[in-house]
Structure 1
Amino acid sequence: MGFGRCIGSPGVMLRKCVVLLVLFSVMFLVVSELTQSDDVIKAQVKETPGSRGLMNNTMNTKLVGILVEQRQNIEQQMKGYKFHAKLNVSHLKDLVPGEGGQPVRSVIVTSWRSGSTFMGGVVSSHPGTFYHYEPLHDFGVKQIRHGEEAAQAVRNLRHLLDCEYGEMEHLIEHGRSFKCVFNQNKALWSQCKTLPDLCRKPEFLSPFCSLFPFQSLKTVRLRLNLTEELLEDKKLGVRLLYLVRDPRGTLHSRRNKNWCSRKDCNDPETLCKDLVRDYITASVFRRKFPNSFRAVRYEDISFNVFHETKELLDFFRLDFHPDIQKFLQTHTGRSKGNAYSTFRDSKAAPVHWQKEMPWEKAQRIQGVCEKALRLWGYELAEGEEHLRSFMPVGRLEFA
């Protein structure tokens, strides 16, 4: 029945025409919404530095199509989502950078083989999350402590937390050889697998990142004191977790790793000097940033994984979402996979080193790490028999 036939139709035809008019109205609203979505995303692309090369008709259509589809996917994931009471938001767009919102930014800082892969898996399971995995990977196997290198590292984190990929060409190029830079971000990697050239372009990465209301980042290369300026920036609104592990467990986990041949990675004294400095910094940060900084031991999370994870998510202002609960249920019951797997028996994984580490090595580590161990609340083994049976995790207190 055509719209023109509604005019002057009596009785039943009139009721049918009313229904038809309602349908046309709904279709108009849907088309208007999609057009508005396209316009918003096109504007993001055009405003991204260096985007002109993409703005030809064919590529523009493909790019906008991907972005619109991802926007719809996020909205679907977020249906019925319970925003944290302290966020003071009522609508998703209040958190979407591409729509002028302020995203929830969560940062995890630690060192290699200290539980960050597991914690990163937890936060990246949260719906609507863009996960910045090891954004300082291109700096190499080193700890960044001071100087221009430190300043550049912090600038890079700022750029990424603001979805500004225009200054991140070095990391993007690095990602050609090290896929882990991108493949831990599920939403992004789903595009990278099919359109790798597009995903190496800042003019795509920036607007894509800007669709996500939750921005999570984890790094194992930056010392804790360097994060102070991130915490001080009220506009950035970062909430930062420092994750620490017993250095005996950390070093045991790093053993026989070909990439871990440098002093910054395999030397107990270097590691424990960093842990002492980080303890001092953490004590200061706890007083200075009581609402946006937290220091937690990996062992404490693992021994009571559901309760502790829920507490940390509350700190990050994230919901203990069914997707996260599913991740915990499937990843903490038993160990499987290689050394980089996040499938672990959560109660056994943190302390399995005491069953495997030779007593002579434990002695050497304790000899140079006693101060760090005591500050972070870890107990010392008194002999080989004691090493195999004692509980190495004691009580943590801050100065």
Structure 2
Amino acid sequence: MPGCKLNLSTIFFLVILQGAAVVLFCGWYAQLNLSSFVRSDNKVHVLLLSSWRSGSSFLGQVFSQHPSVFYLMEPAWHVWTKLQKTGAPAHRMAVSDLLQSVFQCDFSVMEAYLPEKHSVSSLFMWSQSRALCSPPACPLTPRNEFSNQTQCLKACKGTSLKGVEEACGTYSHVVLKEVRFFELESLYPLLQDQNLDLRIIHLVRDPRAVLRSREESAKAFRIDNAVVLDQRNVPAGEVQYQVLQEICRSHMRINERAILKPPPFLKGRYKMVRYEDMAHDPLGEIFSMYEFVGLEMTRQMEDWIYNKTHGKGKGSKKEAFKITSRNAVEVSQAWRTMLPYSKVKRIQEVCKEAMSLLGYKMVNSEKEQKRLDIDLLVPQEPYQFTPIQEDRISSV
């Protein structure tokens, strides 16, 4: 029939249209499959993994003060305090379970470790969290402003755990800082949990600098030292060295597992950071960490980071657990002028393998130790950012 004739141009147009429809359908279908794998709220969970006196409190504040972050400092402290008569291995599953719940803004598991009448002030170092000093947890600090710990302690101590949970649910990133993990294996359930998008930032520090810092606050670590040493009787003069030996070994285990033999679910989800690199290039290192976890660097955060790392001096003993404005480079080098070479030599013996793996050079004399023009850092290869989303798509 004459009315049914189609010219060549019309047929070509229909073929193109059909092809476009197929492409759109395939894209929609792929997106549908992906959405069933990725959480609908796209919340990111970050574990800042470190050890005592390694700069983790400062790193915690780098995240805590960010307006998109709900931050909590060392929830595992509650487990270690409650079960302090045992060793670290006995705590692993309890700590892992605790973090798994807290990452999902479920604080009911905390009640087993808190007094019967509890509030936000029952949580360890709670006022270090800007989110717990801001709405909806507390009206004190607008969410786009930096918190004041002294004011927060007075104004926000009555918030209930339900209020903490409500606040947690309103942020795109939940960040926990921990110094009580000695291996990655106990984190495997969290890494495999489909409800968590977990990234691990592993902060390490020169063990010689750690020793100097720990000596300034030795009494504060008595209980933790006993747990690390599995309640063994150790001569007083050897405690610090044996504790640091365990810490150095743990850094090696964690790094080797993540870099040399990573299970598939760990790929693209681990980043090691050296404190010394962060001290020399704060903005560059922190920008890289923000990129790794999907946070935007703000002008306010840039100014805050600069001010905190370009102050004067190394800080006093009274400020050991406070985030004050200091000269970050001077802090990182303080051990070289303040620690006796005999102690430096001893710590190099017990942490030799870890120092080699993590890129810290040995000193062979007191003279070499005190020559600050000698760089003791082995250059690290630039971090190659691999979007986790791509890894996940390829594994679906």
Aligned partner of 1:395 in structure 2 is: 379
Q: Could you tell me how far 1:235 is from its partner in structure 2?
A: 2.8
Aligned partner of 1:210 in structure 2 is: 169
TM-score by length of 2: 0.68
Checking the alignment, whether the CA contact within 8 Å between 1:164 and 1:206 is kept in structure 2 is yes
Which SS does the other structure have where 1:341 is aligned? coil
Which SS does the other structure have where 2:221 is aligned? coil
Aligned partner of 1:312 in structure 2 is: 289
Q: Spell out, residue by residue over 1:374-399, the C-alpha distance to the aligned partner (whole angstroms, 9 max, x if none).
A: 1111111101001111322123579x
Q: Spell out, residue by residue over 1:294-324, the C-alpha distance to the aligned partner (whole angstroms, 9 max, x if none).
A: 1121111211111111111100110011231
1:220 corresponds to 2:182: no
Aligned partner of 1:339 in structure 2 is: 320
Q: 2:379 is matched by which residue type in structure 1?
A: R
Which SS does the other structure have where 1:314 is aligned? helix
Map 1:144-293 → 2, pairs under 5 A: 145-147=88-90, 149-173=91-115, 180-189=124-133, 191=138, 193-194=154-155, 196-197=157-158, 199=159, 201-225=160-184, 226-257=186-217, 258-261=219-222, 262-263=225-226, 264=228, 266=240, 267-284=243-260, 288=264, 289-293=266-270
1-structure distance, mates of 2:119, 2:339: 35
Map 1:293-372 → 2, pairs under 5 A: 293-334=270-311, 335=313, 336=315, 338-342=319-323, 343-372=325-354
Checking the alignment, whether the CA contact within 8 Å between 1:375 and 1:396 is kept in structure 2 is no
Map 1:84-163 → 2, pairs under 5 A: 101-140=41-80, 145-147=88-90, 149-163=91-105
Checking the alignment, whether the CA contact within 8 Å between 1:286 and 1:294 is kept in structure 2 is no
Per mean C-alpha deviation after superposition, the further-off stretch among 254-263 and 211-220 is 254-263
1-structure distance, mates of 2:220, 2:308: 26
Checking the alignment, whether the CA contact within 8 Å between 1:135 and 1:171 is kept in structure 2 is no
Which SS does the other structure have where 1:236 is aligned? coil
RMSD: 2.8
Q: Residues 347 and 235 of structure 1: is their aligned pair in 2 closer, same or farther, counting only changes over 3 Å?
A: same
Checking the alignment, whether the CA contact within 8 Å between 2:200 and 2:269 is kept in structure 1 is yes
1-structure distance, mates of 2:156, 2:121: 16
Checking the alignment, whether the CA contact within 8 Å between 2:54 and 2:275 is kept in structure 1 is yes
Q: 1:188 is matched by which residue type in structure 2?
A: L
Gaps of at least 5 residues in structure 2 are 1-38, 139-152, 229-238, 384-396
Per mean C-alpha deviation after superposition, the further-off stretch among 238-247 and 187-196 is 187-196
Q: Could you tell me how far 1:223 is from its partner in structure 2?
A: 2.0
Checking the alignment, whether the CA contact within 8 Å between 1:120 and 1:218 is kept in structure 2 is yes
Q: Spell out, residue by residue over 1:156-199, the C-alpha distance to the aligned partner (whole angstroms, 9 max, x if none).
A: 101111010112114544888866531011231353744634x2
1-structure distance, mates of 2:113, 2:167: 17
Per mean C-alpha deviation after superposition, the further-off stretch among 135-144 and 207-216 is 135-144
TM-score by length of 1: 0.68
Which SS does the other structure have where 2:348 is aligned? helix
2-structure distance, mates of 1:317, 1:333: 26
Q: Spell out, residue by residue over 1:77-133, the C-alpha distance to the aligned partner (whole angstroms, 9 max, x if none).
A: xxxxxxxxxxxxxxxxxxxx9xx6231222210001111111111111211321111
1-structure distance, mates of 2:108, 2:246: 35
Percent of pairs with identical residues: 25
Give the total of aligned pairs: 297
Q: Residues 375 and 175 of structure 1: is their aligned pair in 2 closer, same or farther, counting only changes over 3 Å?
A: farther
Checking the alignment, whether the CA contact within 8 Å between 2:283 and 2:306 is kept in structure 1 is no
Checking the alignment, whether the CA contact within 8 Å between 1:243 and 1:297 is kept in structure 2 is yes
Checking the alignment, whether the CA contact within 8 Å between 1:286 and 1:293 is kept in structure 2 is no
1-structure distance, mates of 2:169, 2:338: 46
Q: Could you tell me how far 1:359 is from its partner in structure 2?
A: 0.5
1-structure distance, mates of 2:121, 2:262: 39
